[in-house]
Amino acid sequence: MTTADGGPRNLADLVRRNAERVGGKTAFVSGAERLTWAEVDGRVDRVAAALLELRLAPGDRVALQLGNTLDFPIAYFGALRAGLVVVPVNTGYTRPELLHVLVDSGARAFLPTRLASSAVADLRQEAPALEHVLPASSAEPTDEPAFAALQAGQPVEPVPATGGGEDLAVVLYTSGTSGRPKGAMLPHRALLANLEQCSRIEPPTTAPDDVVLLVLPLFHVYGLNSAMGAVAWNGATGLLVERFDPVDTLDQIRRHDVTNLVGAPPMYVAWSMLPDVEDAFSGIRLAISGGAPLPAQVLHRLLDVTGHHVFEGYGLTETAPVLTTTLMSEVARPDSIGRPVPGVELRLVDEDGRDVEEGDPGEIVVRGPNVFLGYWPDAADGPDADGWFATGDIALLDEQGDLHLVDRRRELILVSGFNVYPREVEQVLLTHPGVHEAAVLGIPHPYTGESVKALVVPVRGARLSAEELIAHCARSLARFKCPTAVEVVEELPHSATGKVSKGRLRESAGA
């Protein structure tokens, strides 16, 4: 399907377009496997047909808990071609976290990485809408033999894409202020718009001849759209890597002639410490970092050793995701998030919604075709009537016209670019029988940007250890959400209304 101007309406149209234009070109490489765009298109058709055979209807949700293998892009684009809504799920989620996403989204089908995993046993008993637990690969055992057979069978007739434009494409769960992750509703329009916006940057973030390292998790919007989506938009080649290992990834960058790095600060921190980073980076055209601020000393070290600038960006799950980049700046300065990408309007406003005075900090509000609809299921808290979305982040504009993040109005903690809301961690801590009260803060960390610190007040007479509480959290929370430091205290400061005073806690932590 195409728009009135001939552009794609459905994200899966990108695969079909590449199959028609550059069908023999390598699309994805994963280990010893490689697929051309024509082969990817054929497999996407088979997955779409197999999903439609299950009587799934347009708009039904399909959850994907898959790693960075060939299974992910094929299942992702296959579900979208069938008119379904994809719910990417963090592969590190514990069973309670996974169940929340499945139940809240009402997913009718689920494709996990391994069906034998204890995390997916008996899921259908606790997730009423879930009817199908499906194999991502035809080689896996399954109680859905028809689906597996169609996946592995002969080529099917081309499946026309169903839906697009304003139709919902993806529901991405991001931690919410209520303590439970909530789903950001991204239509095809928003994801495609951000790909088009980034293609208008000079130099473009991805070009048709590029080989892009796809090691950022594809269940995260940054890896999903800024990395894999950009590969599909441009008909480039993506190198899929399941797990980030600094030594192995540098070796793969060399062996596969990678030209584009789409990464997060911990990756660049680790690479900057290796002696052969200069040689590995010799063929790199563009290095991009996002998700959290990159330490200035790491940026300088890589520039000195490799001659490469690492360009930083800023964005949100709700904006598909890129809003600004230092590629738009005259000079890429450390500690700057640059300027808005083409097609994004950005303002800094005070608490009354008025534009701030020149040089004053203000909350970032944005408008553009890449902005989401709102949060699942009723599009709550989306853009206002004029299309403006308040990010909750505070920034200021310097004399050169570049933006700098200075604070977050929300209590969001960013761990390696992943969102952690204190409330979710606090609720888990409070389920421990020895915890009377808990407060969670983000503290600086040299590799991950921030890490999670918990302060707990024990029940009278209880003896608590940091190791015990961290292990307790690990049973209910993904690893990046778990506290790395726990302090047992006699009491927490409270406001006049009885709430824990996070401001006073931060002041004492800073002191």
Q: In this structure, what are the phi and psi dihedrals at residue 211, rounded to the nearest 5 degrees?
A: -115, 115
Query: CA-to-CA distance for 80 and 84, rounded, in angstroms?
Result: 5
Show the beta-strand stretches assigned E in 120-181. 132-133, 168-174
DSSP 395-438: EEE-TTS-EEEEEESS--EEETTEEE-HHHHHHHHTTSTTEEEE
Q: In this structure, what are the phi and psi dihedrals at residue 84, rounded to the nearest 5 degrees?
A: -90, 170
DSSP 44-88: HHHHHHHHHHTT--TT-EEEEE--SSTHHHHHHHHHHHTT-EEEE
| Contact in structure between 192 and 8 (CB atoms under 8 Å) | yes
Q: How confident is residue 446, by pLDDT bands cut at 50, 70 and 90?
A: confident
**Per-residue pLDDT tens for 281-320?**
999 999 999 987 888 889 999 999 999 999 999 999 999 9
**Lowest mean pLDDT: which of 130-144, 271-285, 345-359, 396-410?**
130-144
DSSP 303-348: HHHHS--EEEEEE-GGGSSEEEEGGGSSS--TT--BEEPTT-EEEE
- Average pLDDT rounded to a whole number, residues 339-364: 94
Helix axes 145-152, 37-53, angle to 10 degrees: 160
pTM: 0.86
Q: How confident is residue 177, by pLDDT bands cut at 50, 70 and 90?
A: very low
Provide the sign of the torsion angle of the four alpha carbons 343, 312, 192, 110, taken in this order: negative
**Lowest mean pLDDT: which of 172-186, 328-342, 373-387, 491-505?**
491-505
| Contact in structure between 294 and 271 (CB atoms under 8 Å) | no
- Average pLDDT rounded to a whole number, residues 346-355: 94
Residue the block writes with tokens 């600004």: 324
Pick the closest to residue 335 from 363, 321, 314, 358 (CA basis): 314
Please compute Rg for the chain using Cα positions.
23
Residue ranges and CATH numbers for the domains of the chain are 40-187 (3.40.50.12780), 413-510 (3.30.300.30)
| Contact in structure between 190 and 372 (CB atoms under 8 Å) | yes
Q: What burial letters (b/e) apply to 367-403, b meaning 16+ CB within 10 Å?
A: bbbbbbbbbbeeeeebbeeeebbbbbbbbbbeeeebb
- Average pLDDT rounded to a whole number, residues 136-148: 60
Pick the closest to residue 219 from 93, 34, 135, 370 (CA basis): 93
What does each C-alpha distance from 144 to 53, 55, 106, 254 come to in angstroms? 11, 13, 20, 41
Going by their DSSP bridges, the two strands 260-263 and 286-289 should be labelled as parallel
